[in-house]
Structure 1
Amino acid sequence: MYFDILPSVCFVLAISRLVVAQTIIVNGQVLAANESTVTPAFVTVNASASNATADLFPGETRQLTDVVLANLTDLGLTNIVLFGFADPSTAANESIIGPCKTFPGEFVVFPGDITNRVFNLLLGGSLIQTKPLASPCYSDYGNQDKAKCDEITSHWSDDPYIHTNDPTSINAILFEGTSCVPHTVNPFALNCTIGAYPKMSVNVTTVSQIQLAINIARNLNLRLVIKNTGHDYGAKSTGAGAVSLWTHNMKDIKYYENYEEGSYKGPAFKMGAGVQVFEAYEAAHKQNLTIVGAEGKTVGLTGGYILGGGHSPLSSLYGLAADQVLSMEIVLADGRFVTASETSNPDLFWALRGGGGSTYGVVTSMVIRAFPEIPVTTMSFSLSSGEQVSIEQFWDAVHAYFEGFINYTDAGNYGHFVLNATSGNYVWDMAPWFAPNMSKSEFQALTDPFLQKVKGIGIDLKPIYQEYTNFYDAWDKSFPLELWGSNLARYGSRLFPRENWENSTKLSSTFEAIRYVVQGGGVVSAYNLAAAPKSGYPDNAINPAWRETVLHAIDIVSWSQDMYTELITIWSNVLTSDWGAMWRSVSPTSGSYLSESDYIQPDFQYTFWGNKYDRLYKLKKKLDPWSVFYAQNAVGSEDWEMSDYIFGNLPSQNSRLCLKGTNPSQQSHTEEIDS
């Protein structure tokens, strides 16, 4: 249940008297109250005061404290208690404010001129009222501009930077309602609405801003979401009526030549919450080092990517990205800023490395271990069935590749490949086969048995090898910019275990399950990688299934704009109930990767976390008894439900978020499904 820090009657009376101070006193001087004068009232705290093991970034030293709150009250900002901290130990004794997250218009103060002015004043002017990225294409927001619309439209799908640099744009537009997109994305769109985009965003650069937003969201029972880049299959960084924390501009990076934490001593980087993969790799490359990060250039490194685990082209060598974290700075649901490491809040540190984003707090930075720069060799090729290659030959060649998965991951390799059917032919793109710390001759020796098998089938793949002296250049040249999300597709995934390759019958079943999806009209984008390096890995919240994996496969179902809703619904259901069911049947004790998974994954608790879920859930209830943080398929999300659905069974983020069993429209939906 949600509990507020104030009795409900007093709460309503208090917010009705909220006023804005006209003047404040700073260092004995009377000044007009505005963004530039209020924000200096926030205290500057050094690292030792917060238990931090690394120097705090400038934005992390600007903090909200009880003393600051008292000073602001004394200076005339009445009812500053709306931004006050909470006490998890007394949450169970506090009054219930309601079963649903507050929707805009339910309180006179949200949204309201008074609250917005006070909030924006305390934030230093960083509050952004949402205007969807594609709004210049429409007249609804009073900013229609054909030139801007044309620019946005021309780059909507192939330039993720325009989305990651926007406060609210996300990848998973299907689940926010496709409410404001260019006409090339939805030719039937007549207008632009806010949909599931948050009502307002905070352009975060300081800890105090995060604390203020968390506190007012908790005290007003507002939905709170966190967005760095918006890269996510499950729309975790958006929600109707929400206040959003946009961490994208927390870009600080600091290099430590000899960082010490626990048993580790060596090179490390402290990186802010807004640092993206391309920025992190560039910083490491300048020091002749590398770090474990994503394939995608614009993915946010220190946000949901690492918090959810984070697979990498280097995972078969070093493990997942979450395995490399040495410490984190985080603002919790009670508004307090803490350090999580092996020696400070160790349970929280355990959970944050793999437990998922938008669950336990807002991470402001991480310290991540670094590795020496290494050479890389890559291989790429493309094969399609047709006049010269029969369908049987095509699949025999793919099977020959599958047979060596254990050998390849044991050698530290990472193979990204795509299987699909185009114009009646099957297509296999190796994009690419990535061999860290291997010379061309070493890589050729590893791959020669596979190539000889394919030749025996009657196919000459003619692979293209590239040899690089360092990881950065290999990564930069091998992986293009990611395409941005579409409302015409859904994704699912599965982690297939090593044991399926140690038994010929299981390998055959696994291969046929992959083939089944492609033959059924789907696309398979898959990764031959492992996450159990020979050097070992730490105890953290990573799904145990990852430690047994040699194949992470993503299945994609798609449809066209002109399909009628009933047919789209059938295709959408195929992903979960047909393809997904088959993949689960050949890997019954395994799981899936949280960040690239089915939006309505059955039994998501076990599927994403295995036997670690109970511990994660108990910690969630302890640290966030108010359920400040919610995201689709996150720990504790089963306690909540949406009021509206897409295609009958996909919860729409453009709807009311309520405790399960308390939403009348959801109860009606359940009755319809049951009947």
Structure 2
Amino acid sequence: MAPSGPNPFGLYKLVAVAVVTLCSDWSYASSSYSKWQLLNKTTSVKPDEAACAAIQANYTSANYRANLPNAWMNNQDEMCSSVPLNQCLLDNTKPTDPLAFANGAVCNQGMIPPVYLEVRSPEDVIAAFEFANCTGTKIAIKNSGHDYLTRSSGVDRLLLWMRSMQQLSYNNAFVPEGCPASETNNAITAGAGVNMDQAFAFAEQHDMTFIGAYAATVGVSGGWVQAGGHSVLSPVYGLGIDRVLEFKIVTPDGVYRTANACQNQDLFWALRGGGGGSFGVVLETSHRVEPLIPLVVAAITIPATATTFTPWFEIMVNNSLTWSQQGWGGHITPSSLIDVNPLLTLDEAKESMAPAVAFAEANNGSVVFEEYPSYYPFYLKYVGANELGVGNVHIAGSRLIPQSLFETETGRSQLMQYIQAIHAQGSSPYIPVVGPVLYNYTTNSTSATPAWREALWELGAGASWAWNSTLSQRQAAVAKLNNLTSLVEQLTPGGGAYQNEASPFTGDWQEAWWGAENYASLLAIKNKYDPKGLLSCYKCVGWSAADETNSCFAAFADSQ
């Protein structure tokens, strides 16, 4: 059975019946690469001017990209970073720039899988795993495409696109399947295609608060929650993995399972921190939600200059321990602080933030304090206006900064030295204040790095390069990032990182992202449910050094 026609980026769509039919027609001995060539022959096509114009007009729109199976938020997921000619990109600074597409420009597949299956039911996923099992083809899983580590794309893979899984429901007496009836929760259940903007609005409609990410198009059920899932409300209400009550998942053995505290507990533990794309295809998640939470917001901005940089961050470093104990969460940049607090009154908030307010007022900055009856109006005003750009290369490189570093003068001095080192290398520190410092965590109840439970900040710098950069330019950017990553690792020995936003080039990634003990348990669970490795992604549980040679990050391996 032939696939349907190509979409603007060269992906071919299959339906579940076609997947199984193709599987039965091909020899078990054939390589997956040769099979894909039957579906994805190189051709020369006449451009569709209307389609091209639509892509150019929306190239840097997160919402537009979120609704395509073949578009990711960051270009490293689409290009093969190690091979600059293996990509099909526009100039993100000017999508109409003809240099990217005229005069014989080559448009190659890069990291984008050649075919995709639009998932609408468990049966679709079961068929995909049957196909993968009999052909040896690896599977990638994608919803909206928020992915710094290239885990949701991949060369010659079958892509499972989850965006059509749009179910949303609220239950004020939710009981996880198989659990005692007395264990009721206010819960929202979301399909794997539901994004944060939908969950926030839906929760508000039911007078509830969903504790979620700081971006409209991050998926509720994918890598965000499966790897940890931080929020500006995490200091008080915990991480996403602390709040998820149940997963519905198809594991690679083709079984549709329910994982919660009362059944498939090993899988439930693994899915709460083990990372997306590793243990199965999650079809829906149920999350504990809170009643409407009144908030105080502090929005403070200053001119970002050479003279304000150091004193501004000294105020941040010297006050963040106190602020964390008062319930503040948010984001800090060289020119701003946007924090929320569900515990303080407006007057208490102003008193708390007095050092930052005084500095801003003395340096021609602006200060705004506001009260909101719930999270959603704050989200509408501030989150969309401060989301990171898309359609470019953005490689993260953060580390979790423990509270202990803020407790001594020596620790604070070392932290300032690192922040200044970021600045000296021409990068900009970005600080999510999202450590769950006030949340009452049950030890070992989740599988993410234990460093989360000591963290106050997430801090680091990223790397980027132009759409048409050379390999040497890319390697130089990575070398610069690795230098900064090394410095922050020295600053936090034995610490960890949030895997979703850590450097892809982290050397001790198993230890940094999970801890040795957690990783050993996760690997055993991975091998139990996926013994043939049908799900394999970059530095996911089960990834090995041998896989490095097949990665589009291979050219940077020596710099790790």
Q: TM-score range by the shorter chain?
A: 0.7 to 0.9
Aligned residues: 529
Partner secondary structure for residue 395 of structure 2: strand
- 1:528: which partner in 2? 433
Higher strand share: 1
- 2:370: which partner in 1? 466
Give the alignment's Cα RMSD to 1 decimal: 3.2
Shift of 1:485: 3.8
Among residues 456, 476, 493, which one is paired with 1:570 in the alignment?
A: 476
Partner secondary structure for residue 218 of structure 1: helix
Partner secondary structure for residue 431 of structure 2: strand
Distance change >3 Å, CA 36–CA 230, structure 1 → 2: closer
Distance change >3 Å, CA 637–CA 644, structure 1 → 2: closer
Among residues 354, 358, 367, which one is paired with 2:277 in the alignment?
A: 358
Q: Is the 8 A contact 1:353 1:541 kept in 2?
A: yes
Partner secondary structure for residue 480 of structure 1: helix
Q: Is the 8 A contact 2:166 2:193 kept in 1?
A: yes
Partner secondary structure for residue 244 of structure 1: strand
* Residue 86 of structure 2 is aligned to residue 181 of structure 1: no
Describe the superposition over 1:625-661 as per-residue Cα deviations: whole angstroms up to 9, x where unpaired. 100111112111125414467686337xxxxxxxxxx
Among residues 369, 372, 384, which one is paired with 1:480 in the alignment?
A: 384
Partner secondary structure for residue 329 of structure 1: strand
- 1:612: which partner in 2? 518
* Residue 289 of structure 2 is aligned to residue 381 of structure 1: no
- 1:199: which partner in 2? 114
Partner secondary structure for residue 348 of structure 2: helix
So what's the TM-score if we normalise by structure 2? 0.86
Q: Is the 8 A contact 1:274 1:300 kept in 2?
A: yes
Q: Is the 8 A contact 1:522 1:558 kept in 2?
A: no
Distance change >3 Å, CA 182–CA 370, structure 1 → 2: same
* Residue 404 of structure 2 is aligned to residue 499 of structure 1: yes
Partner secondary structure for residue 384 of structure 2: coil
Q: Is the 8 A contact 2:16 2:117 kept in 1?
A: no
What amino acid sits opposite 2:138 in the alignment?
R
What amino acid sits opposite 1:531 in the alignment?
P
Listed as ranges, the gaps of 5+ residues in structure 1 are 1-17, 20-34, 40-63, 70-76, 84-95, 114-128, 132-139, 420-427, 652-669
Distance change >3 Å, CA 517–CA 394, structure 1 → 2: closer
The separation in 1 between residues aligned to 2:215 and 2:498, in whole angstroms, is 16
* Residue 543 of structure 2 is aligned to residue 637 of structure 1: yes
Larger Rg: 1
- 1:448: which partner in 2? 354
Among residues 147, 150, 153, which one is paired with 2:50 in the alignment?
A: 147
Shift of 1:564: 5.3
So what's the TM-score if we normalise by structure 1? 0.72
Describe the superposition over 1:345-392 as per-residue Cα deviations: whole angstroms up to 9, x where unpaired. 101100100110010000111111110101112122322355xxx62x
Describe the superposition over 1:311-352 as per-residue Cα deviations: whole angstroms up to 9, x where unpaired. 001101111011111111110111111110111110110010
Q: Is the 8 A contact 1:523 1:557 kept in 2?
A: no
Residues 46-125 of structure 1: matches in 2 within 5 Å?
A: 102-105=31-34, 107=35, 110=36, 112=38
Listed as ranges, the gaps of 5+ residues in structure 2 are 3-13, 81-85
Shift of 1:545: 0.5
- 1:164: which partner in 2? 66
Q: Is the 8 A contact 1:130 1:199 kept in 2?
A: no
Distance change >3 Å, CA 642–CA 188, structure 1 → 2: farther
The separation in 2 between residues aligned to 1:462 and 1:624, in whole angstroms, is 54
Shift of 1:450: 4.2
- 1:326: which partner in 2? 245
What amino acid sits opposite 1:346 in the alignment?
Q
The separation in 1 between residues aligned to 2:462 and 2:23, in whole angstroms, is 51
The separation in 1 between residues aligned to 2:552 and 2:138, in whole angstroms, is 20
Shift of 1:224: 0.8
The separation in 2 between residues aligned to 1:302 and 1:248, in whole angstroms, is 11
Residues 270-285 of structure 1: matches in 2 within 5 Å?
A: 270-285=189-204
The separation in 1 between residues aligned to 2:22 and 2:540, in whole angstroms, is 36
Distance change >3 Å, CA 583–CA 467, structure 1 → 2: same
What amino acid sits opposite 1:516 in the alignment?
A
Report the identity percentage. Answer: 24
* Residue 208 of structure 2 is aligned to residue 293 of structure 1: no
The separation in 1 between residues aligned to 2:475 and 2:16, in whole angstroms, is 54
What amino acid sits opposite 1:313 in the alignment?
V
* Residue 344 of structure 2 is aligned to residue 429 of structure 1: no
Q: Is the 8 A contact 1:198 1:242 kept in 2?
A: yes
What amino acid sits opposite 2:150 in the alignment?
A
Q: Is the 8 A contact 1:130 1:200 kept in 2?
A: no
Distance change >3 Å, CA 467–CA 601, structure 1 → 2: same
Distance change >3 Å, CA 289–CA 380, structure 1 → 2: same
Distance change >3 Å, CA 513–CA 253, structure 1 → 2: same
The separation in 1 between residues aligned to 2:121 and 2:201, in whole angstroms, is 24
The separation in 1 between residues aligned to 2:322 and 2:224, in whole angstroms, is 27
Distance change >3 Å, CA 141–CA 277, structure 1 → 2: farther
Shift of 1:567: 4.1
The separation in 2 between residues aligned to 1:394 and 1:173, in whole angstroms, is 30
Describe the superposition over 1:26-81 as per-residue Cα deviations: whole angstroms up to 9, x where unpaired. xxxxxxxxx99989xxxxxxxxxxxxxxxxxxxxxxxx9xxxx9xxxxxxx89969
- 1:597: which partner in 2? 502
Partner secondary structure for residue 155 of structure 2: coil
Q: Is the 8 A contact 1:521 1:557 kept in 2?
A: no
Among residues 394, 413, 416, which one is paired with 2:331 in the alignment?
A: 416
What amino acid sits opposite 1:283 in the alignment?
F
Partner secondary structure for residue 512 of structure 1: helix
Q: Is the 8 A contact 2:418 2:488 kept in 1?
A: yes
Distance change >3 Å, CA 594–CA 534, structure 1 → 2: closer
- 1:246: which partner in 2? 161
Distance change >3 Å, CA 335–CA 640, structure 1 → 2: farther
